[in-house]
Amino acid sequence: MSILEVSGLRKVYSTRLGGDKVEALRNVNFTVEQGEYVAIMGESGSGKTTLLNILAALDRPTGGTVILDGKNLRDVKESAVAAFRRDNLGFVFQEFNLLDTFTVEDNIYLPLVLAGKSYKEMHSRLVPIAARLGIEKILKKYPYEISGGQKQRAAVARAMITEPKLILADEPTGALDSRSSDELLRLFTEVNSLGQTILMVTHSVKAASSSGRVLFIKDGEVFHQIYKGASTDEEMYQKISDTLTLLATGGNVK
């Protein structure tokens, strides 16, 4: 069953001083099945963040449709968008976006508090997640007291605690060293294996090779995709590198 269907998606930015228009997305089509782990790759400026923002309902498309779990995003009223986002989506950002006014624990609770859940319920949800992410020891600390990797794990916990239909991640390893990156990717794979659908934008071949499918975006369109299938991470790594080389040299993929 498809959890996400994107068809004919178009986004045109008109710059502030009128005149110039930037077509960030031209015609994007793809679907994501329940339980999939999909990576999106593409050159800088190819429209990945734009796509993610539209999927997250942070931004409205110029044209095309996004259907999340059978619901067309266009039909979600402006006033209900925030609640919709909170109930259906989880986010992991490159720059973590933890609030320095909250402890790690409270940061993770934030979406649940907004949803009006009781402390007891929040706590019982947190315990298994914190154990799986290995952040039990830092729950009482503030974001400025912990490392980047720990921050990102806290952000993942925040994304997961609402049990969202889809986790969106924008370059989650971008600000991490390689050891923390590996750890995060291992977590993603693990969470995915438990049935969590993940859509991740990344520049890192290594990150992409941990996913089950990689979409390549070029000139505002989905240009190509690779399924991992039964390949190992190493084989996947090779395939992705080859495709990127082709993309960069402007060649065609059959």
Query: How many H-runs (helices) and E-runs (strands) does the chain carry?
Result: 8, 10
44 binds, among Mg ion, ligand ATP, other proteins, none (CB under 5 to 8 A by kind): ligand ATP
Is residue 238 close enough to count as binding Mg ion by CB under 5 A?
no
Is residue 49 close enough to count as binding Mg ion by CB under 5 A?
yes
Phi, psi (degrees; rounded to nearest 5) at 79: -70, -20
Residues that bind other proteins (CB under 8 A): 56, 58, 79, 81-83, 85-87, 89, 91, 93, 97-102, 106, 109-111, 113-114, 116, 118-119, 122, 142-144, 158
Closest CA to 196 of 169, 232, 224: 169
For ligand ATP, the closer of residues 45 and 148 by Cβ is 45
CA–CA separation, 132 and 128 (whole Å): 6
**Judged by CB under 5 A, which stretch of 3-11, 19-27, 49-57, 110-118 contacts Mg ion?**
49-57
DSSP state, 15? P
Residue 140, both tokens: 């009482």
Closest CA to 151 of 174, 117, 128, 125: 174
For ligand ATP, the closer of residues 55 and 108 by Cβ is 55
Residues that bind ligand ATP (CB under 6 A): 13, 15, 22, 24, 42, 44-50
To the nearest whole angstrom, how small is the minimum distance from the Cβ of residue 149 to ligand ATP?
Answer: 21
To the nearest whole angstrom, how small is the minimum distance from the Cβ of residue 66 to other proteins?
Answer: 17
**Burial group, residue 119, by CB count within 10 angstroms (0-12, 13-18, 19+):** exposed
CA–CA separation, 209 and 181 (whole Å): 13
127 binds, among other proteins, Mg ion, ligand ATP, none (CB under 5 to 8 A by kind): none
Is residue 53 close enough to count as binding Mg ion by CB under 5 A?
no
